[in-house]
Amino acid sequence: MAENSLSSRLQMAMRRLTGRGILTEKDIDEMMREVRLSLLEADVNFKVVKQFIANIKEQAVGEKILKGLNPGQQVVKIVHDELKRVMGEDAEGINYASSGITTIMTIGLQGSGKTTAIGKLGVYIRKTEKKNVMFIAADVYRPAAIEQLVTIGKQVGIEVYEEGLKDARDIVTNGLKYAKENKYNCVIIDTAGRLHIDEKMMSELVDVKAIANPNEILLTVDAMTGQDAANIAKSFHEQLNATGAILTKLDGDTRGGAALSIKEVSGIPIKFASSGEHMDTFELFHPERMASRILG
């Protein structure tokens, strides 16, 4: 057990308490301090922590000590179960179109790992659904973004439809037509993501959404950005109604508090976890695993 894990912290806190049959409010307060610190260290948004603690406290007070568990272990269990509950059921993955082309629009800030995630998602869909996947390069503000998608497309053997730096709306219209003519049945669209969210970019994304009428709008969020991740997700979600998030860079040393914050602040379900630069390190998001990771 790591020294700073929540379990070991709670063991320490509980040493000061006498063995009783139920958890009293005072015991709980003592333990909640540790839970609070632990979540903040895992980079969970502070407002989310506050709400979370209030929920946990309500559940824990008056709780009978379960046989075989000491009070510290019991609180860890309550925290773990609540983390899992808040982050949602096991992810369902992509909602595919029942016929015709499944269209997936990806959104996210530059640097969030969007292009890499598109490559991985394409590979994942090809492998799990045997679909014929195509990418559309509609991030028209940076020539490098198009080049990068083309490079990833080559790497994974997926065709990239691109028209250079023309209007994103036209590219998406033409790209979808091309996909239909060429018998593709899954299209993933890369869109612009500036360093900061701005109105022009947002209105372009809203137009692209109207044109593509996507089955999914997936937001890539860098797990390493911790607290900020939730606010970024919220801004995108307010304008575009994302259907899911892809949490990227989980191979970093982050404890993953972003996952909890995103779900709580924006309400976007986290669908996928991406962890590394290899194209096969991409999987459905598992709240259970993330809960354990956040607890350290």
Residue ranges of the annotated binding site for GTP are 108-115, 190-194, 248-251
User: Which is nearer to ligand GDP, 62 or 252 (by Cβ)?
Assistant: 252
Query: Residues with Cβ < 8 Å from 148, sequence gap 6 or more?
Result: 115
In angstroms, the CA 101 to CA 204 distance is: 22
Question: Nearest distance from residue 282's CB to ligand GDP, in Å?
Answer: 9
User: Which is nearer to ligand GDP, 8 or 110 (by Cβ)?
Assistant: 110
Under rule CB under 6 A, residue 124 binds ligand GDP: no
Under rule CB under 6 A, residue 227 binds ligand GDP: no
Under rule CB under 6 A, residue 115 binds ligand GDP: yes
Under rule CB under 6 A, residue 62 binds ligand GDP: no
Under rule CB under 6 A, residue 296 binds ligand GDP: no
Under rule CB under 6 A, residue 88 binds ligand GDP: no
Under rule CB under 6 A, residue 116 binds ligand GDP: yes
Under rule CB under 6 A, residue 111 binds ligand GDP: yes
Interface with ligand GDP (CB under 6 A), residue from 11, 110, 231, 292: 110
User: Which is nearer to ligand GDP, 159 or 190 (by Cβ)?
Assistant: 190
Under rule CB under 6 A, residue 114 binds ligand GDP: yes
Per-residue binding string, ligand GDP, 164-193, x by CB under 6 A, is: -----------------------------x
Under rule CB under 6 A, residue 275 binds ligand GDP: yes
Question: Nearest distance from residue 120's CB to ligand GDP, in Å?
Answer: 8
In angstroms, the CA 271 to CA 94 distance is: 8
What are 30's two structure tokens? 């003592």
Interface with ligand GDP (CB under 6 A), residue from 167, 277, 280, 288: 277
Interface with ligand GDP (CB under 6 A), residue from 108, 153, 175, 244: 108
For residue 194, the tally of other CB atoms under 10 A from its CB is: 14
Interface with ligand GDP (CB under 6 A), residue from 7, 74, 185, 274: 274
DSSP codes joined into one string, the chain: --TTSHHHHHHHHHHTS---SB--HHHHHHHHHHHHHHHHHTT--HHHHHHHHHHHHHHHTTPBPPTT--HHHHHHHHHHHHHHHHH-SSP------SSS-EEEEEE--TTSSHHHHHHHHHHHHHHHH---EEEEEE-TT-HHHHHHHHHHHHHHT-EEE-BTBS-HHHHHHHHHHHHHHTT--EEEEEE---SS--HHHHHHHHHHHHHH--SEEEEEEEGGGTHHHHHHHHHHHHHH--SEEEEE-TTSS---HHHHHHHHHH-PPEEEEE-SSSTT-EEE--HHHHHHHHH-
Q: Which residues are annotated as a binding site?
A: 108-115, 190-194, 248-251
Question: Nearest distance from residue 83's CB to ligand GDP, in Å?
Answer: 22
Sites of contact with ligand GDP (CB under 6 A): 108, 110-116, 148, 193, 248-249, 251-252, 274-277
